[in-house]
Amino acid sequence: MQITPIYREIIDFIAAGTTPQNLVDFCPSEEAKDRIADLIYREKTSGLTPEETAELNHCLQLEHLMRLAKSRARSYLEE
């Protein structure tokens, strides 16, 4: 699997160490948001290459993972 800029962004965030509050506050860069929006738009209109489909699927998995982690981090902060 190719390490995309979006993956690298998440990897760097995790590798730098974090706290529950930093995790809750984390937002992807505008570049990452734009890339995902572009992939979703093109998926719905003109279609994607197999590589782009794989990239979009990986991004969606990362988003799901981050949502779960943020939910857990919020529960830690409430304790």
pTM of structure? 0.84
- pLDDT at position 1 is 64
What's the rounded Cα separation, in Å, for the pair 15 and 20?
A: 14
- pLDDT at position 60 is 93
Give exposure, 53-70, as e/b (b: 16+ Cβ within 10 Å): eebbeebeebeeebeebe
Q: What is the mean pLDDT of each run of 10 residues along the chain (79 residues)?
A: 84 92 95 96 97 94 93 94
Hey, where are the domains in the chain? 5-11+29-78
